[in-house]
Structure 1
Amino acid sequence: MNSLNDVNSEAVLRFGPYAFHLGQRLVLEGDRPLRLGGRALDVLQVLVEHAGSVVSKEALIAQVWPRSVVEEINLRVHIAALRRALGDGQNGQCYIVNIPQRGYSFVAPVQHSPQPACFPSETVQKRLHNLPARLTPITGRDAIVGSLVRQLPVRRFMTLVGPGGIGKTTVALRVAELLLQHYRHGVWLVDLAAIDDPAQVTDYLTRTLELKVGTTLEALSQRHALLVLDNCEHLLERCTTLIETLLHTMPRLSILATSREPLKAAGETVSRLPPLAVPPVSALRSVAEVMGYSAVQLFVSRARARQQGFALREQDLKVVREICRRLDGLPLAIELAAAQIDALALVGVQAQLGNCFELLSQGRRTAVPRHQTLKAALDWSYERLTPLEQTVLQRLAVFKMAFTQDAAIAVISCDRLPVANLIKVLESLASKSLLSMEQGGGVTRYRFLNTTRTYALEKLELSGEMRAFEMRYAGYVSQTRWPSSGQVALQLVE
């Protein structure tokens, strides 16, 4: 929900022991952030900004869920969560009351401060950060953003992991925005994609932090700050060493890293970023139901930005679901596809899915190169693989469904690729978010994202090996469907 027009988005709304920082969408009790989800914050903002007045249930629902049909029970759930978080009713303090037949009212006195508040121990608080301005709202990430905001100040070192295009940087920046008021000495983004030489990492960090020439990191030992180390995957060893040193010498420092694979540093907590939610076939009953899924919300939002008057109709539901499914719920891919809506219309976008890299080649000029197109995001990962990893990724692309380790060995292992090496590479590709792993029935299965498989198939065709490995795959499938032993070998699953 966007900030309402009548209140400065940088204002702080104070009530009881709480301070609601509108710009950061953060509620602090002293210097402790409250655990509130995105919708609960939206409800609270509407009520607090209309403190002393009754806001009808219909008006609340219309402002908090402007594009969805929502039952009143959803509103009651968030009201109850707010009351619990605020300790409503404890020690005689009352914040939110239900006015029968009319709605809800925020009854506690509210003070409006035009500028963000200082921390209790400081008389002057200068906001220190280098975060870029966010130009668009974030879709479908409330849960993981809230989890990171709550955990990061306690755990100190967390790594957000996922494949290219899934939105790691977007989520990390949102978390950093929400924690601006928590860290007294600043929140700093360090984009490591800008350098390739591990020897430059420390110097690049000191320049980003705007330290004077000759200043060592030890001089920051008492700083209460957050570092967002973005795109660590190509500098893993150096990043691991640096992070362990920083955490040891700076006991009040927190670090949020993003990477396509875990850093495996001491004290690391890994949080894997899932794709946006794609509606199942069973949800195609109404526009309102389909709009409850974040992949569709993002597609519609970006389509409206490109084509004035775009509206999702019931006859479009199957097409939009197919677009989001084929694009794996990847935010970057969905945004780039929606950007073609004015030129191709929905059916044109769907028709181009078989050639998704042509469809997704019209990138965002203002984005960094690796985020301008989906192919650029995959190139960034592929070019950092070893030659053996590149070869295995290409050959595995002949699998049209999830596959087991044994299936991979049967189809692509050879004298130049012994079994022991193949197993290690499979684990490495999964760690680097180029394959996903699924556990079921005591068996580990690997699966490609559709977009990654399409990319790897193109590489396999260029290598001249596609025909040979397609034949090996076909022979394996034939054997496993009708095994000579009479026992069905379930190596491939839908």
Structure 2
Amino acid sequence: MNSLRSINSDAVLRFGPYAFHLRQRLILEGDRSLRMGGRALDILQVLVERAGSVVSKESLIAHVWPTSVVEEINLRVHIAALRRALGDGQNGQRYIVNIPQRGYSFIAPVQRDRTGTLVPVETEHKPQHNLPARLTPVTGRDSIIGSVVRQLPVRRLMTLMGPAGIGKTTVALRVAELLLQHYQDGVWRVDLAAIDDPAQLVKHLSRTLELDVGGTLLGQRHALVVLDNCDHLLECCRAVVDNLLASAPRLSILATSREPLQAAGETLMRLPALAVPPASAIYSVAEAMDYSAVQLLVSRARARQQGFTLRQQDLKAVREICRRLDGLPLAIELAAAQIDALALVGLQAQLGNCLQLLTQGRRTALPRHQSLKAALDWSYEQLSPLEQIVLQRLAVFKMAFTLDAAIGVISGAMLLPASLVNVVESLANKSLLSVEQGNGVTRYRFLNTTRAYALEKLEHSGYLRAFELRYERYISRAHWASIGQVALQLVE
């Protein structure tokens, strides 16, 4: 049993309108009990027992999780839940404040009462869920996970977006874990990856949530549903989500998809790549470990190879590996699996053939998550034939490109400029191209791994050399046009 539960267990701590009965692990506001999770109560007890003092984050974590290694975001999430439950900040009353660089402090006056009337103990609420056990820590996602955790209970519908391998499911499951104590009727993941027939979606959802298909799905249940892998069932998902949110006012939905569901009230959250080192030199191992892509590579390498240590002479190779793999978590994990066989320098040398190299995934994962090529295959197969053709041909661009450049290189009698514009925007919407804005100009860019995949497809089609020549001619014309424009400006 947690040692916190035996500290002054007969006392009742009173602050504001609240009475904290330590023995019964119960907080009353008048006659109403507040529903809080066990960890949140542990944190509150430490802070109230030391009211007026600053308690460091490290000390709080050590007291509340004495036998576990946890991430700081766990603490932040429970502090946020405490503040919501206590109405912290409402009507000018503050209870818990953050002291930058130091920790947290409980600032409200506290009275200790050993004669308070105790009430019958309520049965502790145990959140229900079907979340899989997490075997590894989540790296480099604290900020976005914290943002989703804070917003989701209020916004109700959020969609995590991003390309294949960016870690949408990983982030969604971590958010769900952290919100277990918030949703009284549980947190439920509904994985749609194995469903091909849209007609099966409602049946699958009902079976997962143990609901009557013909009745009102969730009614007044206070729950979170994670709709994972919505990409191939967008229209059906949109209809189901709209119906669920309308019929269940206390329900929240977190979806993962390459593109928006376009449901009413949807909040989009695009997942960025992990932070990669800059092209400039890295001068120390400590500096390299500031980047989340390097952290993930090293942690996964250590899991595979006992005694693995990042050395000074490895920094150039590590930087190049992380950059060439675009900071994609799936690609980095698959690369780390090769380090014991190839070493870092050997892995770096093989990155030109990255799609074939990054094939040794987790056997227990879904087929499309077992390798980077499988993940890209799945995304590619969801495209229309025209989208597939455009994706292939755009791969001849080695750098970011504008729509005008795309029209100049790959449009033709069978691919008119107006159609091409729509397809490029669709590919960006599906997270197969990233969008960059600068100086009033929109540019599109491939991830290195996606470009390598599309180039391979273009080569198999037999048109690679033809479009490489068209690209080279376009670049040459653009170069000479730029020189001519500069010369004209000089004359003027």
**TM-score class normalised by the smaller sequence:** 0.7 to 0.9
C-alpha spacing 1:484/1:293, structure 2 compared with 1 (3 Å)? closer
Q: Comparing 192-201 with 324-333, which one deviates more in the overlay?
A: 192-201
Distance 2:286 2:258 in 1: 34
| Conserved? CA contact 2:206–2:217, under 8 Å | no
Aligned counterpart, 2:266:
268
* C-alpha displacement of 1:105: 11
Distance 1:315 1:483 in 2: 45
Distance 1:454 1:476 in 2: 21
Partner-residue secondary structure (3-state), 1:46: helix
| Conserved? CA contact 1:47–1:105, under 8 Å | no
Aligned counterpart, 1:463:
461
C-alpha spacing 1:241/1:93, structure 2 compared with 1 (3 Å)? closer
| Conserved? CA contact 1:43–1:64, under 8 Å | no
* C-alpha displacement of 1:358: 1.6
The aligned amino acid for 1:128 is Q
Distance 2:425 2:42 in 1: 39
Partner-residue secondary structure (3-state), 2:159: strand
Of residues 426, 436, 440, the one that matches 1:442 is 440
* C-alpha displacement of 1:446: 0.2
Distance 2:257 2:159 in 1: 7
C-alpha spacing 1:439/1:137, structure 2 compared with 1 (3 Å)? same
1:304-358 deviation line (CA, Å, top 9, x unaligned): 0111111111111111010000000000000000011111111111011000012
Aligned counterpart, 1:292:
290
Aligned counterpart, 1:369:
367
* C-alpha displacement of 1:359: 1.2
C-alpha spacing 1:350/1:195, structure 2 compared with 1 (3 Å)? same
CA RMSD of aligned residues (A): 3.6
The aligned amino acid for 1:259 is S
Aligned counterpart, 1:228:
226
Aligned counterpart, 1:418:
416
TM-score (norm 2): 0.79
Aligned counterpart, 1:207:
207
Aligned counterpart, 1:181:
181
Distance 1:207 1:65 in 2: 33
* C-alpha displacement of 1:216: 2.9
The aligned amino acid for 2:158 is M
* C-alpha displacement of 1:279: 1.3
Distance 1:258 1:26 in 2: 33
Aligned counterpart, 1:69:
none
The aligned amino acid for 1:456 is A
C-alpha spacing 1:481/1:165, structure 2 compared with 1 (3 Å)? same
Gaps of 5+ in 1: 30-39, 51-62, 67-77, 110-119, 490-494
Aligned counterpart, 1:401:
399
The aligned amino acid for 1:414 is G
C-alpha spacing 1:26/1:215, structure 2 compared with 1 (3 Å)? farther
The aligned amino acid for 1:253 is L
Aligned counterpart, 2:60:
44
1:207-244 deviation line (CA, Å, top 9, x unaligned): 11123xx5435152111111000010100011011101
Distance 1:26 1:306 in 2: 36
Aligned counterpart, 1:194:
194
Aligned counterpart, 1:354:
352
* C-alpha displacement of 1:443: 0.6
Distance 1:320 1:183 in 2: 41
| Conserved? CA contact 2:276–2:319, under 8 Å | yes
Aligned counterpart, 1:241:
239
1:242-272 deviation line (CA, Å, top 9, x unaligned): 1011111111110000000111111000000
| Conserved? CA contact 1:261–1:432, under 8 Å | yes
Task: Find the structure with the greater CA-based Rg.
Answer: 2
Percent of matched pairs sharing the same residue: 67
* C-alpha displacement of 1:123: 3.9
| Conserved? CA contact 1:19–1:28, under 8 Å | no
1:7-32 deviation line (CA, Å, top 9, x unaligned): 99xxxx9799996755x999789xxx
Aligned counterpart, 1:279:
277
Distance 2:61 2:348 in 1: 39
The aligned amino acid for 1:354 is G
Instruction: Please show how residues 8-19 of structure 1 align to structure 2 within 5 Å.
Output: none
Aligned counterpart, 1:146:
146
Gaps of 5+ in 2: 6-21, 28-33, 46-55, 111-119, 488-492
How many residues align structurally? 427
